[in-house]
Structure 1
Amino acid sequence: MRRAIDTLFGRLVVIVIGMLVLSHVAWFAIIRFERDNVQTRFAVEEAVFLVEAVRQHIANTPDQPLPPRVRVVALASPDVPRQPDEDMPPPLQRFVEDLKDRLPDGTDVRLNEPGGPPSVWVHGAKDSGWIVVPVQPLRPPRSRDRMLVWLALIFSTAVLAALFGAWQLQYPLRSLAQAVGRFGRGQPTPPVPERGPRELRQLTHGFNQMVREVSQTESDRAVMLAGVAHDLKTPLARLRLRAEMMDDEKMRDGVVRDVDSMAHIVDQFLVFAHDRPDGSEPVPVDEQCERIARAYRAVSPGAQPIRLKLEAGPSFALPAATLDRMLSNLLDNAHAYGAPPVVIETRREAKGWVLSVSDHGKGIAPDDLIKASRPFVRLDPARGGSGHSGLGLAIVERLARRVGGECEIGNRAEGGLQVAMTFPFDIATQPVEERRSGPQHEERVL
């Protein structure tokens, strides 16, 4: 099961959002703390200014009235508030301490009793009474903190910009990963645009160069192999014609068998060297498996029985020529080296359509499984004289990858070799032009 967190973009999103959340929360805490400090300092400066102004007013113009909410109270007045206690909130304690620091030594500072307008009472050593001045509330009540609104707006904008940047960063890498997957499956791989950071451009450039060199090498090898195989067809035809004219029947039959084996090897070479995508129309795999099994039985009456187990349904379709070549090679391989019955099975799984061919023989040694699909590799030296070139499974794997599938070769638990090919669900929906340019339960014995 694919998870979004497993992708590069998903992890970039998690990192970016996590860092933005952490930074915004830290900045919010710092701004709130600094705002409280600034508010306290402003209130202290305002109170000091008013106290000094009242003192100047009393000294210079005692007969003039004081401004509203500013007054001088006698020392023995019952309205004088009591000394501040230790249960005072921290902001108010900080305000009183800062105010005492700004006033002369020995100044007594008290706050108005709760319930009345906020004011501060100041009595210095030279003051004849208490100077009462208003102060701004340190924490005015607010229905909504606007800072949170601005923080949410800035955070949303930053997240969108960061996600766009992360997408721009991972998009070239995703294109490169898709091209690597196509190249690994043997499908045509067009050059990947060289975009993104310098290191990614260098990586993309190296990949494009590697694809060009590998494609050129494969093309040269395919041309050479196809040329040799094609040039051998004419001498083989002449050799067979001359063999038919031999008088010795035993020698004639031996030469004809050898010529037929060589012709079969040449045909395998031509199929393996064919490097163009299959442009034939897709056909239902279940129906085609039935036709191939009947045709195989008709051509070889003494061949091993073929058992069909077709469960995929009509939605599973593959190009006709590719399907015929894969099944023909697998049936030839099973009949030559396996044991009856040979089972052709189709089914639908979570990861795609599955087409498998298995037999009930001895299978392949575990150490040789990795070499089974390599071209020109014969796992049994005794097979060399039977018209086999070691290309059967290699052709099957190449054909499966060419149409976007994967081929897995392994031994069955009950015994025998099984070749399972898995194809994506959309393989049959691809238009013919795209494939040319790139890439009910039933069981019976026939």
Structure 2
Amino acid sequence: MMHPFRPLDTLFGRLSLMIVGLVIMVHVMALLLIDKERAKIDAQRSLNNLVVAAQVRERDPVLADHVAQTLGIRYVSAEHAIATGCPAPCTDTDGPLEESLRPRLGEGSHVVVEPQTSSVWVRKRDAPYWIVMPGYMPPFSRFMGFSALTLVFAIVTAVIFAWQVQRPVRELARAAREYRIGRGVHRVRQAGPHEVRELVSDFNDMVSELAESERERSIMLAGIAHDLRTPITRMQLRADLLATPADRAAFLRETESMSRIVTQFLDFARENVTDSVFVSVDEHCRRDYGAQAGESGESGESGEAGDDALVKLDLQAGEGFMLPAVDLDRILSNLIENALTYGEPPVEVSTALADGRYVLHVRDHGAGVPEADLHRVQRPFVRLDAARSGDAHCGLGLAIVRRLVRHHGGAMEVANDPQGGFAVTMSFPYPRKAG
């Protein structure tokens, strides 16, 4: 079953989101703490300077000018504050520094911070002058550029780190998928943390042992099937010795059934699919299963082959849907033979391009399969005699089709059609590439 791709549902997406989230949170908290500490330092320094400046101004205005020059502050008449540079309308501003400084100056005091230079304008209650102190601490806005650059660098580093962490796991998942769909054994390079390297090593060993066991089973199965061909052939030749034509025909039918079983064994025992020329699926179906075999006709494509036709076609995928000729023939022959043996005609074969994938659909009109057995019926050597009966089959047809479909990057689903019958739906990537 195909699941929609969600970037945040991947290991890389979640690692990146987690690390980037932590980096941003720590960064914001650091900025807030810096600004808070900066406000405390500015408030304490400003308070000390203000106390000295105010006391000196009240006691000795002449000395106050020298103190102001030493402290780097200046006195500005309240009437000329805005003209001198106090941000209009020269009313209290809000910020960490103002909140820390205003309570210490007493009730009715005013504190204004100029945003451009961070200069602090302070006026005690009913004082005829403002005391202006230059901003020794750089304004908070200057931190933002450096902070943004640091944040971008941290995020890029976090994403690269997350990618490196998930890379071995991603390669492991790809190798497992390749092995599952029968594309051979691919050893995964050991990389990443210690636990991941151990997991990769165990996976490589497990896949190697499974592949060796599968090869031994296939060799044994192919050997038995191959050895049976010779006595079956001799039995067919000796059928002429039977006295009556009816006995001879029945004997030949039995040997033919045995031959088909042996052929299925050999097909299933093959380790690799056959490399052959890619052909159009629609054209192949028209030629081999159309109203007139070997001819391309509108009746085969539209499904109007007559009510008594064994196979009806509805081919809408177009010429771009291509598969290897030998593999396509094995897929269709197994499915149609199963449908005619276990189900009821007509067998409907349809192709389409839906949801960005090519779809090949085969359906019969029989009794179907019990819902509880739909998954089991795809396994090798499984025959559901209670649901379907037939001769010359060993339960390998759907297993062979499933292996071929997976090898070509497709997916196969089996189900009972709502209108009756057993249906097999195969979807393949779009576009299909020949070779």
| Range class of TM-score, shorter chain | 0.7 to 0.9
Q: Deviations over 1:115-141 (max 9, x none)?
A: 84527xxxxxxxxxxxxxxxx346889
What is the correspondence of 1:156-171 to structure 2 with a 5 Å cutoff? 156-171=152-167
Residue 311 in 1 paired to residue 307 in 2? no
Q: How much does 1:286 deviate?
A: 0.3
Q: Determine the C-alpha separation between the residues in 2 that align with 1:274 and 1:3.
A: 37
Q: Which residue of 1 aligns with 2:202?
A: 206
Q: 1:197 aligns with which of 173, 193, 199?
A: 193
1:43 Cα offset (Å): 3.8
The secondary structure found in structure 2 opposite 1:415 is coil
2:233 to 226, 237, 240: 237
Q: Which moved more, 1:29-38 or 1:186-195?
A: 186-195
The answer as to whether partners of 1:304 and 1:335 remain within 8 angstroms in 2 is no
Match of 1:253 in 2: 249
Distance 1:282 1:113, change over 3 A: farther
- What residue number does 2:45 align with? 42
2:131 corresponds to 1:118:
yes
**Cα distance change of structure 1 residues 115 and 345 upon mapping to structure 2, 3 Å threshold:** farther
1:272 corresponds to which of 253, 265, 268: 268
Please state how far the C-alpha of 1:346 moved relative to its aligned partner.
0.4
**C-alpha separation between the residues in 2 aligned to 1:341 and 1:253?**
27
What residue number does 1:92 align with?
101
Q: 2:370 aligns with which of 349, 365, 381?
A: 365
CA contact (8 A) 2:341 2:390 kept: no
Change (3 A) 1:192 1:295: farther
Residue number among 395, 399, 406 corresponding to 2:400 in the alignment? 395
Taking the aligned partners of 1:4 and 1:182, their CA distance within structure 2 comes to 22
Deviation per CA, 1:215-269, whole angstroms, max 9, x where unpaired?
Answer: 1111111100111111111121122112223344333222222211111111111
Q: Label 1:186 to 1:96 Cα distance change in 2 as closer, same or farther (>3 A).
A: same
Q: TM-score, normalised by structure 2?
A: 0.77
Between the aligned partners of 1:201 and 1:267, the Cα distance in structure 2 is 43
Name the residue aligned to 1:435.
Answer: none
Contact 1:292/1:324 (<8 A) preserved? no
Query: Take 1:425 and 1:114, find their aligned partners in 2: how far apart are those partners?
Result: 81
Q: Which amino acid aligns with 1:273?
A: A
Runs (5+) with no aligned partner, structure 2: 69-75, 79-91, 107-122, 295-307
Query: What is the alpha-carbon distance in structure 1 between the residues aligned to residue 406 and residue 173 of structure 2?
Result: 17
Q: Does 1:70 align with 2:74?
A: no
CA contact under 8 A between 1:194 and 1:201: conserved in structure 2? yes
Deviations 1:334-378 (Å, cap 9, x if unpaired)? Answer: 111221211100011215211111111111122222221222222
Letter in structure 1 aligned against 2:310:
P
Equivalent residue runs for 1:334-345 within 5 Å: 334-345=339-350
1:359/1:312 CA distance change after superposition, 3 Å: same
Higher relative contact order (CA 8 A, sep 6+): 1
Secondary structure of 2:426 counterpart: strand
Shift of 1:156: 0.9
Identity %: 39
Please say if residues 43 and 138 of structure 1, whose CA atoms lie closer than 8 Å, have aligned partners that are also in contact. Answer: no
Distance change >3 Å, CA 157–CA 4, structure 1 → 2: same
Query: Are 1:151 and 2:160 an aligned pair?
Result: no
The letter for the 1-side match of 2:261 is: I
Structural RMSD (CA): 3.5
- For 2:373, the aligned partner's letter is D
On the 8 A contact 1:282/1:320 being kept in 2, the answer is yes
Match of 2:14 in 1: 11
Distance 2:290 2:310 in 1: 10
In 2, the alpha carbon distance for the partners of 1:374 and 1:252 equals 35
- Secondary structure in structure 2 of the residue aligned to 1:227: helix
CA distance in 1, matches of 2:343, 2:168: 47
**Higher-Rg member (1/2):** 1
Equivalent residues, number: 378
Amino acid at match of 2:27: H
Equivalent AA in structure 1 for residue 211 of structure 2 = S
Runs of 5+ in structure 1 lacking a partner? 72-78, 82-86, 98-109, 120-135, 432-446
Q: Which amino acid aligns with 1:198?
A: H
Would the alpha carbon gap of residues 369 and 385 (structure 1) be closer, same or farther in structure 2, given more than 3 Å must change? Answer: closer
User: Among residues 417, 426, 434, which one is paired with 1:421 in the alignment?
Assistant: 426
- Establish whether residue 26 from structure 1 lines up as the match of residue 29 from structure 2: yes
Q: C-alpha displacement at 1:186, in angstroms?
A: 2.6
Aligned CA distance change for structure 1 residues 188 and 351 (closer, same or farther; 3 Å): farther
- Counterpart contact for 2:275–2:324, Cα < 8 Å: yes
Cα 1:395–1:207 shift into 2, 3 Å: same
Report if aligned partners of 1:357, 1:419 keep a CA contact under 8 Å in 2: yes
2: CA distance between counterparts of 1:368 and 1:352?
27
